[in-house]
Structure 1
Amino acid sequence: MSFEDAIAAQVERCYQHAENQLKRPFPRPSISFAMRGQAAGAAHLQHNRLRFNPVLAAQNQQAFIDQVVPHEVCHLLAWQLYGKVKPHGREWQALMVNLFAVRPDTRHQFDVSAVAPRTFSYRCNCRLHQLTIRRHNKILRGQAEYRCRLCQSPLQSALS
């Protein structure tokens, strides 16, 4: 069974458990593994959709099953039960604890080095800066110039 299949099966188990405990049906979400970046997952409330990061999921399969899936499912359940509430507010926390017996952590602790954005070194008069590829490319194309917030000098590529 692939990790995508295992996560989808866990989503279904979470929904079945919620329906048994709360005595009401819930529409099943669509599931996507197209998430990039350092976030583990996301719940799109109005679209009833869950997105998961395939790189972090593959590297942390059991933690995704035990923590990330219930976390994201609880966002959708809170929306369907209570409407617009704080994303990690008391309603969401109560669902995490009472339904799934999972500590309501708001952030994961996964190693994100495999998904960390590539950065480029730039220097000013006082220190070294790490710029994202987007900012680096804007500088190369002459579309932007960035300055240090401390010394106000323009940033120059550290490679030149």
Structure 2
Amino acid sequence: MKHIAEWENLVNAKLSILENIIKNKFGLSLLNLKISYDLKGLRAGLFIPKTNEIKLNGKLCKEFPERMVNEVLVHEVAHFVTNKVFKNSKPHGKKWKDIAILLGLKNPKTTHDMPVNPARQFQKYEYKCSCGTHNISSVRHKRIITKKAKYACKRCGGLLEKV
């Protein structure tokens, strides 16, 4: 996608098609649905019920515009509809799947297979116990050095100590 205007035209065209289906079947409108492109990391899309917002991964939108519109946007709109029509249904349950199919997904999936890199790399810290060494997260490392937590090895039960 060369220009943001092209992307927005693609999204708006798809939303118009989806809204016609949703209005006819459920009497719902997409007017209060917000779309943003600031999602980072491994996820392609996310629906937030409290704010009626769909967040899309901007990097993936640039790299895979057709898939993001025809698969991820439809997937997230299906969450919006499911949330409005069936308040307490499972996020990827039968009702969501039926709505996703109605909206045009041939084989609704819960994950995508587009290549992505994590939004950030986490530093690991090396710790040891009596049976070997372990890499732990910066969060656990900080808890250990501030004496807020102690961690034991799952294999031998020995306390982890900084190498």
User: Does 2:40 match 1:31?
Assistant: no
2:21 is matched with: 21
SS, match of residue 46 in structure 1: helix
In 1, the alpha carbon distance for the partners of 2:12 and 2:124 equals 42
Q: Among 144, 149, 154, which residue is 2:149 paired with?
A: 144
Contact 2:125–2:136 under 8 Å retained in 1 = yes
What residue identity is the alignment partner of 1:26? Answer: S
Structure 2: gaps of 5 or more residues = none
Tell me, in whole angstroms, the C-alpha distance in 2 between the residues paired with 1:81 and 1:46.
15
* Whole-Å separation in 2 of the counterparts to 1:15 and 1:110: 22
Alignment of 1:90-109 (within 5 A): 90-109=94-113
Matches of 1:139 and 1:57, distance apart in 2: 40
Two-structure CA RMSD over aligned residues (Å): 2.8
Whole-angstrom distance in 1 between the partners of 2:59 and 2:161: 33
**Cα offsets for 1:92-130 (capped at 9, x unmatched):** 111222222342101122334443641414333334433
Aligned identity (percent) is 24
2:49 equivalent to 1:45: yes
Larger Rg: 2
- Contact 1:74/1:95 (8 A) holds in 2: yes
Per the normalisation by structure 2, the TM-score is: 0.75
Structure 2 counterparts to residues 113-124 of structure 1, below 5 A = 113-115=117-119, 117-122=121-126, 123-124=128-129
* Cα distance change, pair 135–145 in 1 and its aligned pair in 2 (3 A): same
Assess if the C-alpha contact under 8 Å between 2:45 and 2:76 holds in 1.
yes
